[in-house]
Amino acid sequence: MRGDQRDRHAWRTGLIDTGLAAVIGGAVLLAGFTTSGPRPGNADVVLVMAGSLALAVHRRAPVPVLVFTAACMLGYAVHANPGTSAAFPVVAGVHAVTRAGHRAAAVGVSVVFLVGFFFASTSGDGFERTLLLHGWFICAGVTGLIDKNWQAYLRQTEERAAEAERTREEAALRRAGEERLRIARELHDSLTHSISIVKLQAGVAVHLARKRGEEVPEALLAIQEASGEAMRELRATLDVLRTDVVPPGSGLDRLGELVERARAAGLAASVTVTGEERRLPADVDRAAYRIVQEALTNVARHAGRAKASVQLTYASDHLAVQIDDEGASTTADPPTPGTGLTGMRERVTALGGVLHAAPRPDGGFTVRAELPLGAS
């Protein structure tokens, strides 16, 4: 329970306790004024209200409150001989003290009050009234013990529920860690070998071409560079899966390298930055880089050597990433969204942003993502 909730709960509980204490005091005075005997005087009213209203703070100091209430009501009984109604506040105090775990204090105060009430009775039925009050005090003690055990049961239930929730979260984290390790092993066994072969073959082809004095094709150099970068990113991804720690330098700080590789592959790419550049949240930084990477890859794959432009706009509350190309896509024949666009949309949605990916009215394709800078 948070601090403000605790304060509201304490205020509400105190208000209820005060109301109940006032009701008990009013019931005692009403019984005193409606009986056939002498009516309570001003001093009696003060004793009854003081002893009753003290019950409002029984949660803070149950034993002192019970002693004070019993003293006030015993004084009222000695002075006015009001009958059994004088014991109402004391019975309530015994219940509260027993619920708080002070059984010895409850028994001691009850015995003292009953003895004093018996000797204070001036009528001939003092013994019967004292015996009746004895039953009331026993009932108050029993209900206090039941209430105490019930509260302990509720606390144990809450603790068990919290423990079960914590255990469930730990089990989920453990399963997630085991799944990350399994994925890391699968990626290593399947992709690392294949990419290594591609990089090796491209390197051998470049070496032989240079040895024979031939001009190395740009496509072959692009394959060699791309395969090397793919190996680096795959190793970084495997490290993240195994350790759950993202290495530094995996965001827009590598945008220049990404664009240079795209240009080396024959893609006419340009970058424009507007707004005040600043440090971004790590997840926003990585998402922006991956969106640009996937968009440029799609341009190279589907639009050939079409011109592409990357625009980053730093606003006060979000980062806008837009990639436009001059390919052959049209609004009349929109492409079918693939894994790349789906992955981009998932990244943006996870950060609470908005993604627009569609053909441009004058031809080509545009991808625009708005990433809130408050997300982290």
The larger pLDDT score, comparing residue 193 to residue 354, is at 354
Distances (CA, A) of 360 to 71, 84, 154, 201: 89, 91, 63, 39
How large is the average pLDDT for residues 73-78?
86
Q: What confidence tens digit (pLDDT) does each residue in 168-214 have?
A: 877 887 887 777 777 777 776 667 667 777 777 888 888 888 888 88
Structure confidence at residue 376 (pLDDT): 42
CB 299 within 8 Å of CB 323: yes
Is residue 123 very low, low, confident or very high in pLDDT (cuts 50, 70, 90)?
A: low
The larger pLDDT score, comparing residue 332 to residue 34, is at 34
How large is the average pLDDT for residues 331-347?
77
Going by C-beta distance under 8 Å and a sequence separation of 6 or more, which residues neighbour residue 99?
A: 144, 145, 147, 148, 151
Structure confidence at residue 190 (pLDDT): 66
How many other CB atoms are there within 10 angstroms of residue 44's CB atom?
Answer: 21
How large is the average pLDDT for residues 243-269?
75
How large is the average pLDDT for residues 247-270?
79
Is residue 314 very low, low, confident or very high in pLDDT (cuts 50, 70, 90)?
A: very high
Return the amino acid letter for 248: P
Asked if pLDDT for residue 20 goes beyond 90, the answer is no
How large is the average pLDDT for residues 218-235?
76
How many other CB atoms are there within 10 angstroms of residue 13's CB atom?
Answer: 11
Cα dihedral across residues 258, 263, 268, 272: positive or negative: positive
Structure confidence at residue 188 (pLDDT): 67
How large is the average pLDDT for residues 52-67?
88
How large is the average pLDDT for residues 260-284?
86
Is residue 119 very low, low, confident or very high in pLDDT (cuts 50, 70, 90)?
A: confident
- What's the chain's average pLDDT? 82
Alpha-carbon distance of 236 to 289, in angstroms, equals 15
Structure confidence at residue 369 (pLDDT): 94
How large is the average pLDDT for residues 279-303?
86
Q: What confidence tens digit (pLDDT) does each residue in 142-181 have?
A: 998 898 888 888 888 888 888 888 888 778 878 877 777 7
CB 116 within 8 Å of CB 74: yes
Asked if pLDDT for residue 68 goes beyond 90, the answer is yes
The alpha helices in 217-336, defined as continuous H runs, are 218-243, 255-264, 282-302
Q: What percent of the chain has pLDDT over 90?
A: 15
Structure confidence at residue 44 (pLDDT): 83
Q: Which two tokens stand for residue 313?
A: 């706009």
Q: What percent of the chain has pLDDT over 70?
A: 90
Asked if pLDDT for residue 368 goes beyond 50, the answer is yes
